[in-house]
Structure 1
Amino acid sequence: MAVARVGISGWTYAPWRGVFYPKGLAHRLELEYASERLDSIEINGSFYSLQRPTSYRNWAAQTPDDFVFAVKGGRYVTHILRLRNARTAVANFLASGVLALGGKLGPLLWQLPPTLQFDPEAVDAFLELLPETTTAALALARETTLEEDRTDLSPVAERPIRHAVEVRHASFDDPAFVELAKRHGVAIVVADTAGRYPVIRQDTADFAYVRLHGDVELYTSGYTDEALDRWAADARDWLDRGMDVYAYFDNDVKVRAPYDAMGLRERLLPR
């Protein structure tokens, strides 16, 4: 049966303290607090720099058994290398502890920069590089150039790995990109960005990945009840077609993300 998971992009935000997080809650308990109210969280610190294996293990230990993390791929891959010659960088990302999440590892998210135009050859090569299973990911991770104390290359149970790509240049709104994503089984993120970036609604994988950045003002505006109802209807449509759904709110500036996430999650609970 298809499953919907709703969460937030990141969880460490100073303005949330005393608003979403109770006043006086220790910072080390914030992940535990958020994970008790949501199904999933998108780890976005991994976008800015490689995290440590100890961090991934700690995050897994602090969350419920049925919790799932999405992990955002590094901007070094997407924004500096711009997907080209990325094998070693992806190996380092995978070796840095991502696989230590074990059964709590959800999709890997690759967010492309707004200036990156669709290049079929480069995109095809990058999507071909992405491992489809944890054992394939471990094999690639073993090509790492990181120091031993920055890696976790422990044996892993065989599980599928899902990948999602969020595009931000209009040139990706192209049937050729859709076909590439479909051939590689990679989801194209449905991104709500207040009209700034393209919205591509095409089923290219066995799951849907949604990022809700704000429908009026990017990263800032909250979602009305009517807007949440519409997104819930979309999610139910994907579920009815047998697709799992991962939806993350990234409208964090005014502390709307956790409340909107809980609102959408409530709408999708079995009645």
Structure 2
Amino acid sequence: MVGTIRVGIGGWTYEPWRGTFFPDKWPHAKELDYAASKLTAIEVNGTYYSSQKPATFAKWGKAVPDGFKFALKASRYCTNRKVLAEAGESIARFCGQGIVELGDRLGPILWQFMATKKFAADDFEAFLKLLPGSRDGVPLDHVVDVRHESFACPEFVALARAAGVAICHTDSADYPAIGDATGPLRYARLMRTVEAEATGYATDAIANWVNVARGWAEGRGDDLFPKADETPGKDMPRDAYLFYISGAKVRAPQAAMATIERLTASSFPRS
């Protein structure tokens, strides 16, 4: 048994994608439908800045095919605070806004922290304990995206592992890349797309990320990257998410589609 690999981008509304990803004159109202026909996941950034209505989540869920997943970036009011242990009300508000209306299209929730946020063990442990395992009977999977080097330590990894929360692996020159397996899934944000490359990432780099994702899905991914904690995680197949999310954003869809094409050619489950 292997996990499923899903590949996508951040959002689906970006003006430079018109004519480069979306066909010319493609209606704005159908952008999600088109993106979902080419990709297998999307990370929603809008939920970081503002809440949505239950009907909006339901509409998104109906616009995408079976097997497609939305990763939701949690509200900034949950993570951009001095004392994380005091985030309970904001976390409850975010999870209670109607996200379960996505049904089986609901993927992981990404909790992103500012690059200035340093690791404080007691406070971060208290935050992890606030993350609900389910909402209205719907299981919730959580991913933490930490951006300060102080998190690259065994104590942080141990806390995430004990909480069953995944650590986002970031491919970036600016943020730490923590390779430890801690939760039931693997999640990567790939931030090095360049406009000069037709597919955003070079062909060999895309091939490498396909191999990484396959390793994660097959349960052999805990030795692919340097780890902050030398204690190995449980070797098990995990669903894997790859999001081309930053850098030359105009090339993100091409990078994602090239990755999906390579996965399809190798007959590996991708959705």
Matches within 5 A, 1:223-242: 223-241=201-219, 242=237
3-state SS of the aligned residue for 1:260?
Answer: helix
Q: Deviations over 1:111-163 (max 9, x none)?
A: 1100000011111111111111233xxxxxxxxxxxxxxxxxxxxxx342110
**Distance in 2 separating the partners of 1:82 and 1:70:** 25
3-state SS of the aligned residue for 2:6?
Answer: strand
Match of 2:55 in 1: 54
* Larger mean Cα displacement after TM superposition, 82-91 or 34-43: 82-91
Q: 1:109 to 1:176 in 2, by over 3 A?
A: same
**Distance in 2 separating the partners of 1:268 and 1:159:** 29
Matches within 5 A, 1:22-41: 22-41=23-42
Match of 1:88 in 2: 89
Match of 1:73 in 2: 74
Q: 1:247 aligns with which of 242, 246, 250?
A: 242
Counterpart of 1:226, as a letter, is D
Matches within 5 A, 1:21-170: 21-80=22-81, 83-135=84-136, 158-170=137-149
How far did residue 75 of structure 1 move? 0.8
Matches within 5 A, 1:181-192: 181-192=160-171
Q: 1:104 to 1:182 in 2, by over 3 A?
A: same
**Distance in 2 separating the partners of 1:178 and 1:262:** 32
Match of 2:261 in 1: 266
How far did residue 185 of structure 1 move? 0.6
How far did residue 66 of structure 1 move? 1.9
How far did residue 19 of structure 1 move? 1.4
**Kept after mapping to 2: 8 A contact 1:82/1:116:** no
**Distance in 2 separating the partners of 1:253 and 1:222:** 7
TM-score by length of 2: 0.86
How far did residue 18 of structure 1 move? 1.6
3-state SS of the aligned residue for 2:23?
Answer: coil
**Distance in 1 separating the partners of 2:81 and 2:19:** 37
**Kept after mapping to 1: 8 A contact 2:200/2:248:** no
**Distance in 2 separating the partners of 1:253 and 1:48:** 22
**Kept after mapping to 1: 8 A contact 2:246/2:252:** yes
* Structure 1 spans left out of the alignment, 5+ residues: 136-157
Counterpart of 1:84, as a letter, is A
**Kept after mapping to 1: 8 A contact 2:87/2:127:** yes
**Distance in 2 separating the partners of 1:231 and 1:160:** 28
How far did residue 184 of structure 1 move? 0.4
* Structure 2 spans left out of the alignment, 5+ residues: 220-236
**Distance in 2 separating the partners of 1:69 and 1:216:** 25
Counterpart of 1:189, as a letter, is C
Q: 1:216 to 1:19 in 2, by over 3 A?
A: closer
Is residue 152 of structure 2 the alignment partner of residue 173 of structure 1? Answer: yes
3-state SS of the aligned residue for 2:86?
Answer: coil
How far did residue 94 of structure 1 move? 1.2
**Distance in 1 separating the partners of 2:25 and 2:194:** 32
**Kept after mapping to 2: 8 A contact 1:66/1:104:** yes
Q: 1:228 to 1:88 in 2, by over 3 A?
A: same
Q: 1:62 to 1:252 in 2, by over 3 A?
A: farther
Counterpart of 1:120, as a letter, is A
Q: Deviations over 1:26-84 (max 9, x none)?
A: 10100000000111111110011112222111111111122111100011111145523
* Larger mean Cα displacement after TM superposition, 202-211 or 82-91: 82-91
* Larger mean Cα displacement after TM superposition, 249-258 or 125-134: 249-258
How far did residue 99 of structure 1 move? 1.3
Q: Taking every aligned residue pair, what percent have the same amino acid on both sides?
A: 43
Counterpart of 1:168, as a letter, is R
**Distance in 2 separating the partners of 1:222 and 1:264:** 11
**Kept after mapping to 2: 8 A contact 1:7/1:248:** yes
How far did residue 165 of structure 1 move? 0.5
**Kept after mapping to 1: 8 A contact 2:96/2:135:** no
